[in-house]
Amino acid sequence: MKGKFPSKIKSISFDFKQLNSAITQQLQARANFLPSNTTAYRLLDGPSEGLDRGSCLEVYNNTQTNAWLWQTSEAPTSLEIKQFIKVANQHKASLYLKTLGAKNLSKSPQHLSGVEITKPFLVKESGRSYWIDFASGYSQGIFLDQRDNRNQVATLVAERLKSKEEVKILNTFAYTAGFSVSAALAGATTTTLDLSNTYIEWSKRNFEANNININEHYFLKGDTLEWLPKFAKKERLFDGIVLDPPSFSRNKGKVFKVQDHYSTLIEQALLCLAPQGWVMCSTNYLGFNLQQFESIAKKACNSQGIRADITAAKLPEDFPSSNHLKVVFIQAL
């Protein structure tokens, strides 16, 4: 791609030809490395691919729908909107804009151009199906940066099944159960836990979209911090546990802050872990770097007297400018 994009979104200077060239180039680049049968991914990711830091462009499509979700940390200029609409029309894409930030947490993306998408639609990720909804509020149904980790969970389940007849996976703070779906398709019996009835029902629809019998799996509404001690007390153990909490949450007057309570959360999860099981720990909290997050995991293991290998995961290749997500896998020895 010729030329450079501006470092600041407010002093934008690119034109249709430049932006269209970047998008066309990255469409081809993604096709060369994305897992097969994947139709939802990040197309442009920040400065390394032509956008301001904190901005990105994501693709969500199927045979009937081609949706682009443009996310920005600041409200874009009218010129930038005009150029994106022009390029989206060139690619016959429905363009949506999501302005990031706490004050926008209750807002659905804004439709800018193309066919307006009024109903949920299915996308593929490594052959798995997930429902996407552009009218659902701030989040559309899947966090694309966790794709490689969902694939890794499926791999760990398959490995475990070589030595066990049944593999049990607990997915906490489950949202729409992306990890549960990947584990269930790999052969696990899953327990999906979330505080929201809306997301529990969405999770079940994702199971059904993949022809998984929901009656063979467990769906629980509730607070993870309350359920983990219950599991431990009943000696209900899991071969794998996914921990992906929000940075901050409040339930029944109780507050969870990643920076203060993540170590305790891991400790509680370890009490529910089967021998030689694993825990996936994830956070978007910007106050931690990866090394600090690994130290928290090590501290929790030491506190529970568990010997473990702790391995950091990398972001998918379509996130070259991002460093927000920190993920470590704790493998008990």
What would the pLDDT profile of 241-293 be if each residue is shown by its tens digit? 999 998 766 766 677 788 888 999 999 999 999 999 999 999 999 898 999 99
Higher pLDDT: 305 or 11? It is 305
Mean pLDDT of 17-29: 90
Torsion 121-124-129-133 (CA) sign: negative
**42, 287, 73, 54: which is closest to 143 by C-alpha?**
42
Rounded Cα–Cα distance for residues 246 and 258 (Å): 7
Burial of 244 (0-12, 13-18, 19+ CB in 10 A): buried
**254, 240, 144, 160: which is closest to 192 by C-alpha?**
240
E strand or H helix at 120: none
Tens of pLDDT, residue by residue over 162-202, are 999 999 999 999 999 999 999 999 999 999 999 999 999 99
DSSP output for 131-158: EE-TTSSS--S--GGGHHHHHHHHHHHH
Specify the pLDDT at position 51: 78
Note the pTM of the prediction, 2 decimals. Answer: 0.93
The distance of Cα 98 from the centroid of its chain, to the nearest Å, equals: 16
Q: Is the pLDDT of residue 58 over 90?
A: yes
Torsion 202-207-208-209 (CA) sign: positive
Mean pLDDT of 62-81: 91
Q: Is the pLDDT of residue 7 over 60?
A: no
Mean pLDDT of 148-161: 98
| Model confidence band, residue 106 (pLDDT cutoffs 50, 70, 90) | confident
Q: Check: CB of residue 180 under 8 Å from CB of residue 199.
A: no
| Model confidence band, residue 11 (pLDDT cutoffs 50, 70, 90) | very low
Percent of the chain scoring above 70 in pLDDT: 93
Q: Check: CB of residue 232 under 8 Å from CB of residue 204.
A: no
Q: Check: CB of residue 74 under 8 Å from CB of residue 99.
A: yes
Residues in the chain: 333
| Model confidence band, residue 323 (pLDDT cutoffs 50, 70, 90) | confident
Rounded Cα–Cα distance for residues 285 and 217 (Å): 31
Copy the structure tokens of residue 57: 């462009």
Q: Is the pLDDT of residue 295 over 70?
A: yes
Strand intervals (E) in the chain: 40-45, 56-61, 66-72, 94-99, 110-113, 121-125, 128-132, 168-171, 189-194, 218-221, 238-243, 248-251, 254-257, 273-283, 308-312, 326-332
What is the SS3 assignment for 119? coil
Specify the pLDDT at position 253: 63
What is the SS3 assignment for 98? strand
What structural domains and CATH numbers belong to the chain?
A: 9-132 (3.30.750.80), 144-332 (3.40.50.150)
**60, 93, 59, 55: which is closest to 77 by C-alpha?**
55
Mean pLDDT of 128-146: 95
Mean pLDDT of 292-296: 96
What is the SS3 assignment for 191? strand
Specify the pLDDT at position 248: 65
Q: Check: CB of residue 26 under 8 Å from CB of residue 43.
A: yes
| Model confidence band, residue 42 (pLDDT cutoffs 50, 70, 90) | very high
